[in-house]
Amino acid sequence: MELSRLFAARDLGSRDNSLNLIRLLLAFMVLYSHAEILTGVGDGIKWQGQHIGSWAVVGFFAISGFLITGSRERSDAGRYLLNRVTRIFPGFLLALVFVAFFLAPIAQVIETGSLRGYFSTPVTPGYYVYGNILLRIMTYEIGTTLADIPYPKAWNGSLWSLYYEFWCYIIIGVFLSWKLTREKVWPTILLFLLSVGVHSGIGYIGGFVDESYDFSMLSFMFPYFMGGAVVYKLRDRLPMRPLIAFVCAVVAVALIRYSNDYGPQLASPLIAYVVLWLGAVVPSPAVTRVHDISYGVYIFHFPVIQFLVLLGLHRHGFALLLVVAVAVTIVLATASWLGVERAAMRWSRGRRPWGDLRQAAR
């Protein structure tokens, strides 16, 4: 890394960034964390009670809060919603179908010797797709598949976060529908503080929503998203400087260590700043500036690892399984990006879905 780039002040809103690379690295952190757990080699690397994969998801939400807030301020409600749907759903639906009608049938044959009962034994592959189609994961299993592996029956445990992320899109989309909330900073800061308060008081508030698990998880994740939103609203007043990033990192660690109950949520704007600073100063290969396979890595790695474990690859060493899982996941994520995700995004913007690949960067 060039020292001049590391220590230079950067524009927080600049498109000259490495956020695609940062998100890809976060996705690989999730992959590594899940690989340890799914192969049974351990409980994964933890800090303050959370796996490194969970902290990576925090980074995803922080970046998302920054970018999606900007997207909403630049778009009317209809265009904003269409863009959000076309970014999340095509890859998600592909991942569901890929598991239900490709990986899981092969797993059934490996485990039982035939496909007998596969399409009719609950949970059926049809219900796996239909029941999960609106992002709220109703089931992680299909029939009797994956019954005898270290982490049994769950085909794709990564998908849980997408439901809460989409709720974040809806909330910020509605919140920024008024001139006041668009033009002023303080309403966004107030919403962030309110979200932290709701999370910290969930033990009391939960009784008013029938102890809803979904509400509890949304209250847990939403402040991370709002941390990125706050940084976006302050972007013109926050240059990307290493000293500010260092101070933010130190204070964030102090808050997180002080309280696991609300410290991470309260520190989320600081976390967002540090992640965005890294995106501003870390150099990125040209290919990751144009193509973003991080979402594909996130939604495909879990079933890939589970399938490799079913094949017994983990018995030949964790390192081998990890290398193969990364390679297969990259292939699937690239195919998803080029064939489905990017095409849907281009279509939603009125462009040819499968146009020249270089046009995607413009």
- 3-class DSSP string for 209-227: HCCCHHHHHHHHHHHHHHH
User: Is the per-residue pLDDT at 358 higher than 70?
Assistant: no
- The CA distances from residue 290 to 17, 71, 260, 273, 286, in Å, are 11, 18, 38, 23, 7
Domain ranges within the chain, ordered by starting residue: 3-361
pLDDT of the residue at 43? 77
Taking CB atoms within 8 Å and a gap of at least 24, the contacts of 49-55 are 49/260, 50/264, 53/29, 55/29
**Structure token digits, residue 129:** 């797709």
pLDDT tens by residue, 161-176: 999 999 999 999 999 9
**Structure token digits, residue 4:** 């001049």
Token look-up 């973003």 returns 292
User: Is the per-residue pLDDT at 9 higher than 60?
Assistant: no
pLDDT of the residue at 355? 67
3-state helix, strand, coil in the chain (%, to 5): 70, 0, 25
Q: What is the number of other CB atoms lying within 10 angstroms of the CB of residue 331?
A: 14
d(CA 59, CA 65): 10
pLDDT tens by residue, 268-277: 999 999 999 9
pLDDT of the residue at 4? 43
Token look-up 């998908």 returns 159
Cis amide leading into 123 (omega within 30): yes
Mean pLDDT across 317-339: 97
**Structure token digits, residue 77:** 């409600």
Q: Are 302 and 155 in contact (CB under 8 A)?
A: yes
**Structure token digits, residue 150:** 């270290």
* Cα angle 360-290-92, degrees, rounded to a multiple of 5: 75
pLDDT of the residue at 359? 47
Dihedral sign computed on CA atoms, order 264, 266, 269, 274: negative
pLDDT of the residue at 15? 59
Residue 138 DSSP SS3: coil
pLDDT of the residue at 126? 97
Work out the widest C-alpha separation in the chain, in whole angstroms.
63
pLDDT of the residue at 117? 94
Residue 46 DSSP SS3: strand
Dihedral sign computed on CA atoms, order 85, 86, 88, 92: positive
User: Is the per-residue pLDDT at 361 higher than 50?
Assistant: no
**Structure token digits, residue 175:** 């919140």
Token look-up 């509400």 returns 215
Residue 43 DSSP SS3: coil
Residue 10 DSSP SS3: strand
User: Is the per-residue pLDDT at 213 higher than 70?
Assistant: yes
